[in-house]
Chain A
Amino acid sequence: MTKYAKRISEKDNVVTAVADCVAGDTVTVKYKKAKTQYTCNQDVPFGHKIATVDIPKGSVIIKYGETIGSAKKDIKKGDWVHIHNVKDDYKCLDKNGKPLPGQED
């Protein structure tokens, strides 16, 4: 049975698996009538993300066409993308762009 992953926006550099995948599995992405395939480098559970290109350390992760975080280490095409290799950069900012209190990390 074909295993699928979903792309939300053209700009995205990750797709989301909608089947439980194991290392070596090929996932198919249907997006705007085009079909693309990626090979999983690691196990990727349902709902988790797979890189569609190499993402060097410090570069941004894009989903929904927006930046959702940045790479903590070099991420290879086909890698499982989650909290082990992505940094959550979000802070709630005041009008001057400074973090509001209580967000030390």
Chain B
Amino acid sequence: MSAAAVARDTGARLAAADAAGLNATLYWSQELLDAEARRVEALPADSSLHGMPIALKDNIVTTDAPTTCASRILAGYVSPYEATAVTRLRGAGAMVAAKANMDEFAMGSSTEHSAFGRVVHPLDPSRVPGGSSGGSAALVAAGVVPAALGSETGGSVRQPASFCGVVGVKPSYGRVSRFGLVAFGSSLDCISVFGRTVDDAARVLAAMSGHDPLDRTTLDRPSMRRPEPRRDLRGLRIGLPREYFPADLHPGVAAGMERARRATRELGAELVDVSLPHSAFAVPTYYIVAPAEAAANLARYDGVRYGPRRIGAAGGIQALYQATRGEGFGPEVQRRILIGTYVLSAGYYDAYYRKAQRVRKLIADDFRRAFTGGVDLLLTPTTPTPAFRAGEKTGDPVAMYLADVFVCAISLAGLPALSLPVGRSEGLPVGAQLIGPFFEDEAMLAAAAALERALGADAEVR
């Protein structure tokens, strides 16, 4: 199929998704798709992603479409430069198909916190697709695109991948350049990938990974290659951290995990019990570290140099700041800025930020000890429940934060992890999480491919 034909088909699917009320995109146009197809047709036909349409979460900057982060404070903003990851994907033959809806500035776990309306779960309109990369997840789950970029700060790709029944891969921190990813929590942020299959996600990840001189937190190590899928898991020791299998785990998730565990054993892996005691503190640690970094990262939205400006009744520069930011940021973003400002402010730094930094190290040390102790990979549920109902958690910020209880620790530790569909519970997808040692993304993906083939995603588990 020619790139031009793919572009036309993709446009038709995007239009259908819009018509179905998914609200998964913030921008797309047939003109842009057609221009992408023309550009791609000039590239060598054997480029690794030749003609693959990809959606981008709307916090990844491009020069030919707006980048709003689903926020009024960036309404209409078109970046004058392009993210490194996008440049690399385009160079590999991918076509940018759409900018995907998201929780505002990637803050949320349900994609209900978009200034431009919530994203609807493709399988059940009453439910959320997860978040914050819910638009990207929904587009892949609905079959609109084979792969999409999301971003992770504390599970924002793995959690919606699990809710939507697609593959979601978060690479090791420092694997993919953050240059052009709008910053939320800089020490946590990772551009991450959704794919229909492990291989789709792995190909995209391989094409955009590698050291970038424009991001000093990328590692100067050889780029990731598309992993050779394993046929079995013989010789692998896979750890089951007991803290990730609480007694009150949702029965559907528990059944899904049982299925994953059985498949893993049948593929020849040895399953071992491990402990990650400090993971219990991951969510509170995350909700100090990430807002603190976010409060500083979001200070640049001040209405001075770009983005819409509000003048404020009192006049003067301070009224401009407060009106621009007060009206431009939604409630969840404002809450996090306030918390982040609070935990760094005079008198509270030691009690919150410094303490959280120490606990973060303890959390990371737990993983390091597990992996140096002879475990090759870890297997856990991705989420405590399948997709919840829209509105179910919007009244209580902490209840929403707990949707990330199994994914947060990995982000704090900077490790590679993915969510793989393992079946359905009452029609809703359930995901299992595989976690690898730092920079062992390829080995993790190779094992996931074997598990993927053994499982088949659509089986009802309960």
Instruction: Report if A and B associate in a common complex.
Output: no
**Chain A interface (Cβ < 8 Å from any Cβ of B):** none
